[in-house]
């Protein structure tokens, strides 16, 4: 099975600043675009399991209460802003202590909050593969319909370089005088 490195990013409100400075360059990601229903923002719901069968209790879960790790609630949604995670450990907005989950707040720069989940492989049509405590775990794709997929900056650069190289080779094939000039 050919696996692709993927990262998942949930963005509630964001800017280029938040994304460009905090997304791993080597990871693809999904952006969560919550639906606003009757002036209320829908919070994400997802489950990460220890096995590819997606059975048993999830090792990581995000639901209406917040983020739970191994059955323990570790971050709640902020009461003032239901899309902001509040760490129960530090009582601060954001939730950074539970990889592969990463959430930050950028209100001071007008960028809002984002929540990223870094995924190691595309997996199957049922799940994305993630690393949890250095072992494979599996993110259920069932509730990810509000997400948009983006490739990593590194892969984007590589694809662009490949396309530019293809175009350059085409120019060389069509312009023999350029080939001669380059040889000088």
How far is Cα 100 from Cα 83, in angstroms, rounded to an integer? Answer: 18
Cβ atoms of 18 and 29 closer than 8 Å: no
132 and 147 belong to one structural domain: yes
138 and 184 belong to one structural domain: no
When the pLDDT of each residue in the chain is averaged and rounded to a whole number, the result is 77
Q: Where do runs of H (alpha helix) occur along the chain?
A: 16-22, 153-174, 176-183
132 and 108 belong to one structural domain: yes
Range of the domain at 45: 6-151
How far is Cα 86 from Cα 173, in angstroms, rounded to an integer? Answer: 59
| Mean pLDDT value across residues 140-168 | 85
As for how many domains the chain has, the answer is 2
Whether the pLDDT of residue 110 is over 50: the answer is: no
Whether the pLDDT of residue 164 is over 90: the answer is: yes
Question: Could you tell me the pTM of the whole model?
Answer: 0.71
163 and 144 belong to one structural domain: no
| Mean pLDDT value across residues 100-126 | 69
| Mean pLDDT value across residues 153-168 | 90
Cβ atoms of 59 and 50 closer than 8 Å: yes
Whether the pLDDT of residue 127 is over 90: the answer is: yes
Place of tokens 């509040």: 86
110 and 27 belong to one structural domain: yes
137 and 161 belong to one structural domain: no
Smallest CA-to-CA distance from 147 within 135, 139, 136 is with 139
């Amino acid at each position: 099975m050919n696996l692709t490195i993927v990262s998942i990013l949930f963005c509630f409100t964001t800017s280029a600043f938040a994304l460009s400075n905090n997304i791993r360059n080597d990871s693809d990601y999904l952006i969560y675009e919550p639906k606003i229903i009757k002036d209320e923002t829908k919070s994400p719901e997802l489950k990460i399991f220890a096995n590819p069968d997606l059975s048993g209790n999830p090792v990581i879960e995000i639901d209406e209460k917040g983020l739970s790790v191994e059955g323990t609630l570790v971050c709640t949604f902020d009461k003032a802003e239901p899309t902001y995670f509040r760490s129960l450990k530090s009582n601060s907005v954001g939730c950074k202590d539970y990889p592969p989950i990463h959430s930050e707040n950028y209100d001071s720069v007008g960028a809002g909050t984002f929540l990223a989940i870094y995924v190691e492989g595309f997996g199957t049509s049922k799940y994305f593969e993630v690393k949890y405590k250095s072992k494979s775990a599996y993110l259920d794709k069932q509730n990810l319909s509000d997400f948009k997929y983006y490739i990593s900056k590194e892969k984007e650069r590589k694809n662009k370089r490949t396309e530019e190289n293809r175009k350059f080779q085409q120019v060389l094939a069509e312009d023999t005088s350029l080939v001669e000039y380059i040889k000088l």
